[in-house]
Each structure stands twice: as C-alpha cells, then as structure tokens.
C-alpha cells in the first residue's frame, strides 16, 4: 500500500495552517484554501501502473441516471426472451457489428464506435440508496441508515478526486454537482454523495438550479453574494495571518500555498467561474442541438465546466415537475415502463447524450475526458402487473466513453433474460478504481483521515479490458435505428392536439403505441352512423386544415339510422407520463349539422357530451376497458362557421389527483387517458330515416389540450 495523504501539516508552534485560516473565515463557497493546497501537492507516490491509460483522462463527467434505467430498453435488449421479459421494443444494429441497442436509442446507436458498454454491472442490492452508495464510493454500505447523509459515511469518489487531483485551473471548483443533490422523494438524501469522514471541505460543490431556465443563475458566484470590498478584507486578513509565519523558513509546501491562495481569490474576482456557468454565451444552434430540457442543458453546462478546467462534473438525472411520491419517477419505472421510456426517458437521454458526446468529440475534448453513464441499478427482467419493471441490482449496464476507453465494444454479458451476469461481473469498487486509474490516481493507494486512520482508496480493480488507447474494434456497419421513431422530447402530454398530423384514427383494439387519437368507430367516407371522423376543411378548422367531427350523418346520408339509449362514440388518447397533481383539460368545440334547428332539436336534446379522465384497467390499454376518474358534461352551442374564430367555444375542465393513501406512492396503474364521449341519454329509440339531404348533426372538435399545472401537495414517502 502507498500512503498518499497524511494528517494536516503542523507548524513549529503546534497550530495548523488550517486552524489559522478557519479563524480568518477564509472559505468562499465552502472551499478551504489550505485543503486545496494539501490536495494539490500530496499526490500519490509509489510504483505507478505501466499501463498507458494511467492518467489518460484530464477530467471526468459522471452522468448518474437516477432511478435505475432498464437494461432491456437501453443497452442490452433481449429479443429472444418471452414477451413478458423482452418488452415492447425491438433491437437495432449500432454502427459496430455485433452490438445491438434498443430501438429507443437510435442516435446513441450511431455513436457506438465511441462507446464501451458494460453489460455485467452488479451490486445484488435492490435498494436505491445502498446500491448507489457502492457505485459512488467503491464500498458497500455498512452503516445504520443509507437513506441519510452521515458524517461517518465513506467519501464520495469525487471528494477523493477533489482532495487528491484538484483542477490546476479552477482548484476551488474541482468537483461540481448539477443540477441538484440526489433525492429519494422530497428531502430524502441518500448516503454516498458527501465527503463523509473526510470533512465538509471536501464535499462536492452542488449548484442547484435548472440550466434550461432563461433566468438561471448560480448562487455563490454572483458579485452580490460576496461584495468585492469584503473579499479584499478577507484577503488582507489572510496576509496578516501569514505574517505570523514570516520568520519561519518556508519549504516547498508553504511556498506553493501562496499560489493556491492567489488562484482562489482570482477565481472569485475575475469572474472565470461565472463565465463558465453562463449558458447565454452558447450559440443558439448548440443549445438546440442538446435540447431544451433540464437534463440536456445540464449536459451542455457540464461541457462548459470541463472546458473551463473543472476536474469532475457530476450530472444527476433531474426530477420532472410532479414526480415525487409516484410509482414511476425518474428512471424508477415501477409502472408504465414502456410508456415512460418511449415518451420521456429515452428521448431525453438519446438526444442529450448523443449531442454531448458529439460536441466533446468535435471540440477535441473527448480524447481527454472520461464520460460515465450509469444508474444505481437496473430493472427486473419480468414486467409486473402495472406494466413496470422493479428494482434489480443483480445486473445492469454502464456506458463509458472518452479518454482511456477502448471503444467499440460491449464488455461482459448478462444471461438470456437479462437477469444475472453470464460473464465478467463488474462491481462498484471496480468502477471507482477505473475512474481513479484513468485520472492518474493510484487505485491501490491508502490515505489517512483526520484522526490518522489509514484507509484503502477503494475496493476493486480497474476494468482493464475496457481500457486502451485504441478502439476494440475498427469494423463499422450501417446503423438500423430510425431517428424519426424517437422524436425529441417536447414535454407535451398529448400528441396531435390540433389534428393536423396525417396519422389516421386508430381503433380502440389496436396496440397502445405509438400514442395518438383512438376511436371506437372511425367513420368511412359514406358511413352515416354514430362515430368519429377526421375532417379536412380549412373553412371550419381553427388551426390549419383539419379537425375532428363526432356525431352522425357525416357520410352521404343515404341510409336510415336508429340510436337506442346508451348509443355512444368515443375519441380518446393516452396521457404521456402522468403524475399526481392538477390537470387542466380544454377543447374547442362547436355544434354543426344540416341546420341549427335540427342540431338543437335532435342532437342537443338526445345526446350528452362529456370530457373524461380515465384509468386503464387492462394491460392492452384500450379505452373500452377503463375506470372513469372524473368527468365534466357540457352542452355545445351551434356554431356560425361564416366566422370560424368565433364559432368554437372553449370547454375547460380542471381535476386534482391527490394521493389516496398518504405515506405511499401515487399510482395511475396502467396509465391515464382523456376522452370526449358523445352518448344518447334519452329513453326510447331515435329513428332517422334516409333522406336525400343527410340528417347530419355533430360536434366539431379542435385544439384538444392537456396541461399539468403542478402537484397539489408534497409528501415525504419511501420509494
């Protein structure tokens, strides 16, 4: 073992420099200057590995995909497994022969030659906190409660990087976290994300905020946070403290201290850090390439920080509005796994990650930056009753790219069902050892804590077979992924809200994806029965050429019609990734028919119109099998289509979905849907004989919107 860090250097009078500086209150942004000095100078001595990858990475970007991505729907599809294991999606060929990804990652598949995928990560731990602790520290959790940060925790690997390999350019910002802490619902912050027993001066610097917001600012890096005069006074106080040592013969350690003192003050007064955090400096085209989300703009910010000299940038997968106390937050897809990954998670990851890797590569940064993308575990092989996958630590995936990685390979393998490692098992300590090695920190070293106790840096060894200075394979092939299959995430809850898409109405019995409008009866051109029809009629449409019509007589009016009580027709769509909270549904509607008199005397008197929120009750996710959660009845007004803008009325419906079981997670089970129902409610049979002029009466529908307003309340619950 090679000791690499001792207790704080003490001066001739027994008072440490750290103690003197604490008296002076010289911490800016929670950073201690003497700590930085100590970290910079006491680098690991001893015999270094002869491997050419040692120290190959100047910096690291660690992408933590919180919740646990499903291996089947990302980097390890299992097309030969039974349907309840393989899921709804097919594999695609990447640009490296023999390596397939899930079809939901078409952009990433085109960059497989720049990646090494580990398919045999394992912790055998199905808890977010303790499984993640092993990955973030290199040690299994042995304490009393891994759901809380404790001062006795093993240090986060980035804290050790901050201590042992600080940035030469921005030493006070050696390890940065974006865009928030790791949280398990509300304020539950698991162990493993602090410096633990090393002391708070080695904590990562966490910058909480959404970089996608136009008003994004960084607390602590604004001039108003620390007035220049006050900062200068602190510098003067430091000089007074230093004068105490003026008569002491200074060694190399003390002389170099001045350099770091100067760097810290230059950082705060020059605005270099503020400049790195200012995303407004980025060209619009680059910001658009990454995408508008909090995740993607955090990746762009990570690239800027790496360019500015930050040693390690840790990007947590951010929470979406309302995803606390639900059963599928983040990547934690206990319910509706296929829908979450298709509608939100994979589009966000695929666009942002591919843009990040491409951007680093084009700027020449990828060759000196290690990129790690991993969750705290994977998901169960078998899909559960709510269409979800549960926690699974026995096997999952990790994606590596950049400096010191032998790319174009898939290392290790899971078994036929993606349940357990089939070969080359990789554990948490192996990952941290790999990161240390590539940064030029001897993973076999030991260090001493503040009490003088010796500790191993990490448990495990680098994953040698994924390291190298050349690709594992130089063979390339055509990627079969379809980018159009996975459009960029736009945050919308419904698709084709203005009915302008050329996609036809699908029946209620067709598969639930892709998302879109469905009807129990999509009327043919000459069908006069009760049903739904998409209309191409610019004169009667609000937004473009098309709208939907619900009613009868929409054909040529040549056949008689009869409608008994309960006759109904439905226009429905599944909501994309719903969470508990408040929703506002709105739709523009107008009555229409052969005449105002016919519409009001026949349609309005015999039929009711309802907006509905419903929950699916079968895995087939057909609106015909639904549980209505709330509805609102309205009476349409006959529209004067000589002026379409005023012919339509806006019908709104607000509904709050609150957790019915306090202390648990809110669940929509198999999913939430919205619908517009037209139903005959009067007794008897309505007879409409065939006539030369169609006895037409219908509801014209346009601009069907669903808006998530927010959570109605916050709850601290376990996940």
CATH assignment of the domain containing 702: 2.60.120.260
Q: What's the rounded Cα separation, in Å, for the pair 578 and 340? A: 9
Orientation angle between helical segments 252-270 and 228-243, nearest 10 degrees: 170
Distance from the first to the final alpha carbon of the chain: 40
Task: Specify the range with the lowest mean pLDDT, choosing from 26-30, 152-156, 358-362.
Answer: 26-30
- Residue 252: inside a domain, yes or no? no
- Residue 132: inside a domain, yes or no? yes
Neighbours of 484 (CB within 10 A): 7
pLDDT band for 269, please (50, 70, 90 cuts). Answer: low
Q: Helices (H) and strands (E) in the chain — how many of each? A: 17, 29
- Residue 118: inside a domain, yes or no? yes
- Confidence (pLDDT) at 712: 41
Task: Specify the range with the lowest mean pLDDT, choosing from 40-44, 381-385, 418-422, 476-480.
Answer: 40-44
Q: pLDDT digits over 492-511, tens only?
A: 999 999 999 888 899 988 88
Q: pLDDT digits over 240-260, tens only?
A: 544 544 444 444 444 444 544
Q: pLDDT digits over 590-634, tens only?
A: 999 989 999 999 999 999 999 999 999 998 899 999 999 999 999
List Cβ neighbours of 229 (8 Å cut-off, separation of 6 or more): none
User: Looking at the structure, do residues 430 and 520 belong to the same domain, yes or no?
Assistant: no
Enclosing H/E stretch for 568: strand 568-574
- Confidence (pLDDT) at 19: 37
List Cβ neighbours of 686 (8 Å cut-off, separation of 6 or more): 562, 563, 564, 602, 606, 680
Neighbours of 242 (CB within 10 A): 17
User: Looking at the structure, do residues 523 and 440 belong to the same domain, yes or no?
Assistant: no
pLDDT-above-90 percentage for the chain = 67
- Confidence (pLDDT) at 229: 52
Q: What's the rounded Cα separation, in Å, for the pair 508 and 499? A: 18
Beta-strand pair 626-634/561-564: unpaired
- Confidence (pLDDT) at 247: 47
User: Looking at the structure, do residues 440 and 513 belong to the same domain, yes or no?
Assistant: no
- Mean pLDDT to the nearest integer, 674-681: 96
User: Looking at the structure, do residues 432 and 559 belong to the same domain, yes or no?
Assistant: no
- Confidence (pLDDT) at 18: 38
- Confidence (pLDDT) at 251: 46
User: Looking at the structure, do residues 456 and 546 belong to the same domain, yes or no?
Assistant: no
For 267, phi and psi rounded to 5 degrees? Answer: -60, -45
- Residue 13: inside a domain, yes or no? no
- Mean pLDDT to the nearest integer, 382-394: 96
568-574: strand order across its sheet: 506-507, 518-519, 568-574, 672-680, 607-616, 626-634
Best CA proximity match to 669, nearest among 616, 614, 708:
616
Q: What's the rounded Cα separation, in Å, for the pair 183 and 562? A: 59
SS3 414: strand
Contacts for 601-605 with beta carbons within 8 Å, 24 or more apart?
A: 602/686, 602/688, 602/695, 602/697, 603/551, 603/697, 603/698, 603/699, 604/635, 604/636, 604/638, 605/682
- Residue 226: inside a domain, yes or no? no
User: Looking at the structure, do residues 327 and 179 belong to the same domain, yes or no?
Assistant: yes
Residue with tokens 């006074």: 233
Q: Is 283 exposed, middle or buried (0-12, 13-18, 19+ CB in 10 A)?
A: exposed
- HEC string of 329-356? CCCCCCECHHHHHHHHHHHHHHHHHHHH
pLDDT band for 561, please (50, 70, 90 cuts). Answer: confident
Task: Specify the range with the lowest mean pLDDT, choosing from 38-47, 242-251, 425-434, 457-466.
Answer: 38-47
- Confidence (pLDDT) at 644: 80
Q: pLDDT digits over 180-197, tens only?
A: 999 997 678 999 999 999
How far is the CA of 516 from the CAs of 493, 530, 635, 675, in angstroms?
11, 21, 26, 12
- Mean pLDDT to the nearest integer, 472-494: 95
pLDDT band for 110, please (50, 70, 90 cuts). Answer: very high
| CB 73, CB 347: distance < 8 Å | no
Best CA proximity match to 493, nearest among 576, 573, 615, 571:
576
Orientation angle between helical segments 252-270 and 33-41, nearest 10 degrees: 130
Model confidence at 298: pLDDT above 60:
yes
What CATH number did the domain enclosing 76 receive?
A: 3.40.720.10
Residue 704: domain span: 506-710
- Residue 27: inside a domain, yes or no? no
User: Looking at the structure, do residues 370 and 510 belong to the same domain, yes or no?
Assistant: no
- What tokens were used for 533? 């029809």
Q: What's the rounded Cα separation, in Å, for the pair 441 and 5? A: 12
| CB 275, CB 223: distance < 8 Å | no
Bridge partners (DSSP) of residue 9 are none
Q: Give percent helix, percent strand, percent coil of the chain, each to the nearest 5.
A: 25, 25, 50
User: Looking at the structure, do residues 598 and 518 belong to the same domain, yes or no?
Assistant: yes
Greatest mean pLDDT range, 74-78, 183-187, 261-265, 693-697: 74-78
Model confidence at 414: pLDDT above 80:
yes
Q: Is 301 exposed, middle or buried (0-12, 13-18, 19+ CB in 10 A)?
A: buried
Domain count, the chain: 2
- Confidence (pLDDT) at 690: 72
User: Looking at the structure, do residues 427 and 333 belong to the same domain, yes or no?
Assistant: yes
Q: CA 72, 75, 78 angle in degrees (round to 5)? A: 40
Last residue of a domain, one of 450, 473, 496: 473
pLDDT band for 713, please (50, 70, 90 cuts). Answer: very low
- What tokens were used for 244? 């105490």
Best CA proximity match to 520, nearest among 569, 561, 554, 565:
569
- What tokens were used for 509? 């019995």
Task: Specify the range with the lowest mean pLDDT, choosing from 2-6, 64-68, 375-379, 505-509.
Answer: 2-6
pLDDT band for 5, please (50, 70, 90 cuts). Answer: very low
Model confidence at 142: pLDDT above 70:
yes
Which of the 8 DSSP states describes residue 98? T
**Pick the residue with more confidence: 34 or 406?**
406
User: Looking at the structure, do residues 529 and 586 belong to the same domain, yes or no?
Assistant: yes
Task: Specify the range with the lowest mean pLDDT, choosing from 39-53, 340-354, 489-503, 595-609.
Answer: 39-53
User: Looking at the structure, do residues 436 and 542 belong to the same domain, yes or no?
Assistant: no
pLDDT-above-70 percentage for the chain = 83
pLDDT band for 63, please (50, 70, 90 cuts). Answer: very high
Q: What's the rounded Cα separation, in Å, for the pair 447 and 480? A: 49
List Cβ neighbours of 381 (8 Å cut-off, separation of 6 or more): 72, 78, 81, 85, 389, 392, 417, 418, 419
- Residue 206: inside a domain, yes or no? yes
pLDDT band for 331, please (50, 70, 90 cuts). Answer: very high
- Residue 717: inside a domain, yes or no? no
User: Looking at the structure, do residues 589 and 454 belong to the same domain, yes or no?
Assistant: no
- Mean pLDDT to the nearest integer, 194-215: 93
């Amino acid at each position: 073992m090679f000791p690499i860090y001792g207790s704080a250097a003490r001066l001739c009078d027994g008072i440490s420099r750290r103690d003197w500086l604490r008296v002076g209150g010289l911490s800016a942004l929670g950073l201690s200057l003497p700590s930085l000095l100590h970290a910079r100078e006491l680098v690991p001595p001893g015999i270094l590995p002869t491997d050419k990858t040692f120290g190959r990475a100047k910096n690291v970007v660690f992408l933590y995909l919180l919740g646990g991505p499903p291996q089947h729907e990302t980097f390890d599809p299992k097309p030969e497994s039974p349907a309840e294991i393989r899921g709804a999606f097919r594999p695609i060929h990447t640009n490296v022969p023999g390596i397939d990804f899930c079809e939901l990652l078409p952009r990433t598949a085109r960059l497989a030659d720049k990646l090494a995928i580990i398919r045999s990560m394992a912790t055998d731990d199905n808890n977010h906190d303790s499984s993640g602790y092993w990955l973030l520290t290199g040690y299994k959790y042995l304490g009393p409660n891994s759901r809380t940060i404790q001062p006795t925790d093993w240090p986060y690997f980035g804290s050790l990087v901050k201590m042992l390999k600080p940035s030469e350019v921005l030493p006070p910002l050696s390890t940065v976290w974006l865009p928030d802490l790791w949280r398990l619902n509300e304020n539950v912050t698991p162990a493993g994300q602090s410096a633990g027993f090393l002391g708070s001066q080695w904590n990562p610097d966490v910058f909480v905020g959404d970089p996608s917001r136009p008003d994004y600012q960084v607390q602590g890096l604004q001039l108003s946070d620390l007035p220049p005069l006050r900062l200068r006074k602190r510098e003067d106080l430091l000089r007074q403290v230093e004068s105490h040592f003026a008569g002491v013969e200074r060694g190399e350690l003390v002389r170099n201290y001045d350099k770091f003192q100067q760097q810290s003050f230059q950082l705060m007064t020059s605005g270099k850090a503020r400049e790195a955090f200012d995303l407004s400096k980025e060209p619009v085209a680059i910001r658009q390439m990454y995408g508008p989300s909090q995740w993607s703009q955090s990746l762009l910010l990570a690239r800027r920080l790496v360019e500015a000299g930050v040693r390690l940038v840790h990007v947590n997968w951010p929470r979406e509005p309302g995803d606390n106390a639900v059963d599928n937050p983040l990547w934690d897809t206990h319910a509706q796994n296929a829908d979450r990954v298709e509608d939100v998670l994979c589009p966000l990851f695929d666009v942002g990650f591919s843009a990040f890797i491409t951007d680093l590569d084009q700027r020449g940064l990828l060759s000196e930056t290690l990129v790690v993308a991993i969750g705290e575990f994977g998901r169960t092989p078998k899909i559960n009753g709510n269409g979800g996958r549960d926690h699974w630590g026995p096997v999952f995936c990790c994606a590596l790219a950049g400096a010191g990685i032998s790319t174009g390979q898939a290392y290790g393998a899971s078994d036929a069902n993606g349940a357990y490692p089939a070969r080359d098992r990789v554990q948490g300590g192996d990952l941290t050892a790999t990161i240390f090695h590539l940064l030029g920190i001897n993973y076999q070293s030991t260090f001493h804590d503040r009490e003088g106790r010796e500790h191993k840096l990490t448990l495990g060894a680098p994953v040698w077979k994924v390291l190298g200075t050349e690709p594992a394979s130089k063979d390339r092939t055509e990627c079969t992924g379809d980018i159009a299959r996975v459009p960029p995430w736009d945050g919308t809850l419904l698709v084709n809200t203005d009915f302008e898409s050329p996609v036809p109405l699908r029946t209620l019995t067709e598969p639930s994806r892709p998302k879109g409008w469905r009807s129990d009866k999509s009327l043919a051109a000459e069908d006069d029965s009760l049903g739904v029809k998409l209309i191409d009629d610019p004169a009667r449409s609000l937004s473009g050429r098309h709208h939907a019509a619900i009613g009868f007589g929409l054909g040529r009016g040549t056949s008689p019609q009869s409608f008994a009580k309960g006759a109904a027709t439905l226009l429905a769509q599944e909501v994309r990734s719903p969470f508990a909270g408040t929703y506002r549904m709105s739709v523009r509607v107008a009555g229409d028919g052969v005449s105002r008199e016919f519409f009001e005397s026949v349609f309005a008197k015999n039929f009711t119109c309802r907006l509905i929120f419903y929950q699916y009750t079968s895995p087939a996710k057909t609106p015909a099998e639904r549980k209505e959660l709330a509805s609102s009845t309205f009476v349409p007004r006959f529209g004067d289509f000589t002026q379409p803008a005023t012919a339509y009325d806006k019908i709104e419906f607000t509904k709050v979905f609150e957790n019915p079981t306090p202390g648990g997670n809110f669940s929509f089970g198999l999913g939430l849907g919205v619908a517009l129902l037209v139903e005959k409610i009067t007794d008897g049979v309505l007879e409409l004989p065939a006539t030369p002029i169609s006895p037409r009466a219908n509801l014209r529908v346009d601009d069907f919107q669903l808006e998530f307003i927010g959570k109605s309340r916050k709850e601290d619950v376990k996940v």
